[in-house]
Amino acid sequence: MKNEYLPYPAIIEQVGEETYDTKTFYLKLRDGRRKFRYQPGQFVELSIFGYGEAPISITSSPTEETLKLCVRRIGKVTEKLHALRANDVVGIRGPFGKSFPVAEIKGKDLVFVAGGLGLAPLRSLIKTAFDCRADFGKITVLYGARTPNDLLFRDEYEAWGHNKDTELLTTVDTASEGWQGNVGVVTTLFTKTEFIPEKSVAVVCGPPVMFRFAIRELLKMGFAKDSIVVTLERLMKCGIGKCGHCNIGHKYVCIDGPVFRYSEIEGLGGAV
Ligand SMILES: Cc1cc2nc3c(=O)[nH]c(=O)nc-3n(C[C@H](O)[C@H](O)[C@H](O)COP(=O)(O)OP(=O)(O)OC[C@H]3O[C@@H](n4cnc5c(N)ncnc54)[C@H](O)[C@@H]3O)c2cc1C
Ligand code: FES
């Protein structure tokens, strides 16, 4: 039987610099015969042997060859991870958690609303949708970061924008010299494009304050509560529903989420 507490060794194949504090790690399981299967929206527990573990969203899509994790340097484990190079080995447990409801949202227009590092888990679904383009309607990606230097996956925007019936709008809280785009929080982008809420699903991830404002605006525009999908972060330890660290109300984010429809978590203390 699979032991969910046991990390599996994975080799870092490549490291991509996203920003001054965020890198994308391309991983391959050391036992090449083992296929790592996951769905967009799931996460792994990433361990650095001797240092500890951290839950990290899977940023690649199952349609890609390599497992990719986009990680911000913030504390003990992520500092150590950022010091690693190609051919170093890390541990992976998972995949864990509920995925985005990919089959149920087929045929819908997709409106992604991301703030900061929130684009990392959404990228998995964005890439899946682009790789199965005929399965979805219009795709709109609205993405906000603190400054232009904080925008993730910048080298992919051009390719994303070339997809049929796709719109990508970015914004920053504070512009730097040369920035010609929008300035303001991500919800200011809502007025710069058009949605048909009845045929759309909004997928939201970002810092807590962004969730509140984004959901409020989406509801005002006419999105139904079960057409707003969020992916949440909470402090986690086990990742498998045993330690009780990640609960919101009666739900455990690690097994009942991290992906929820807004209708499932509305009113749960401190959910969004
Ligand atoms: C489901 C899930 C998916 C995640 N996906 C990503 C991802 O794709 N990329 C990424 O960079 N990070 C992600 N995170 C956050 C990441 O797990 C934490 O930043 C991680 O704990 C850092 O480990 P550390 O040992 O480096 O930091 P630590 O030394 O443990 O912590 C540094 C500081 O961050 C705080 N902190 C740690 N975790 C959280 C949290 N979840 N919420 C708020 N504060 C926290 C600590 O209290 C401490 O103040 C995710 C978290 C969850 C629960
Ligand atoms: S992280 Fe242990 S119960 Fe969710």
Task: Convert the pLDDT of each residue in 67-106 to its tens digit.
Answer: 999 999 999 999 999 999 999 999 999 999 999 999 999 9
**Phi and psi for 198 in degrees, rounded to 5?**
-65, -25
**Phi and psi for 13 in degrees, rounded to 5?**
-90, -35
Domain 8-96 class, CATH top level: mainly beta
Residue identifier of the C-alpha nearest atom 3 of ligand 2: 241
Phi and psi based region of residue 270 (left: phi greater than 0; alpha: psi -120 to 50; beta: remaining): left
Q: Is 77 in the pocket of ligand 1 (CB under 6 A)?
A: yes
Which atom, in ligand 1's list, is nearest to the CA of 246?
A: 53
Q: What is the pLDDT of residue 33?
A: 59
Compute the distance from residue 96 Cα to the ligand 2 centre, in Å.
11
Residue identifier of the C-alpha nearest atom 27 of ligand 1: 75
Q: What is the pLDDT of residue 164?
A: 87
Domain 109-231 annotated CATH 1.10.3210.10: no
Write out the two tokens for 263: 């209708």
The yes-or-no verdict on residue 35 having pLDDT over 80 is: no
Residue identifier of the C-alpha nearest atom 21 of ligand 1: 54
Task: Convert the pLDDT of each residue in 190-208 to its tens digit.
Answer: 999 999 999 999 999 999 8
Judged on CB neighbours under 10 Å (0-12, 13-18, 19+), 198 is exposed
Task: Convert the pLDDT of each residue in 128-172 to its tens digit.
Answer: 999 999 999 999 999 999 999 999 999 999 999 888 899 999 999
Q: What is the pLDDT of residue 85?
A: 97
Among 8-12, 129-133, 209-213, the range scoring the smallest mean pLDDT is: 209-213
- Chain centroid to Cα 251, Å, comes to 20
Which band of pLDDT confidence, cut at 50, 70 and 90, is reported for residue 4?
confident
The yes-or-no verdict on residue 1 having pLDDT over 70 is: no
Compute the distance from residue 253 Cα to the ligand 2 centre, in Å.
7
Compute the distance from residue 241 Cα to the ligand 2 centre, in Å.
4
Q: Is 245 in the pocket of ligand 2 (CB under 6 A)?
A: yes
Q: What is the pLDDT of residue 202?
A: 98
What does the CA dihedral 142, 144, 149, 154 come to, rounded to 10 degrees? -20
Compute the distance from residue 118 Cα to the ligand 2 centre, in Å.
21
Which band of pLDDT confidence, cut at 50, 70 and 90, is reported for residue 187?
very high
Compute the distance from residue 238 Cα to the ligand 2 centre, in Å.
5
Q: Is 234 in the pocket of ligand 2 (CB under 6 A)?
A: no
| Residue ranges of domains in the chain | 8-96, 109-231
Mean pLDDT of the chain: 93
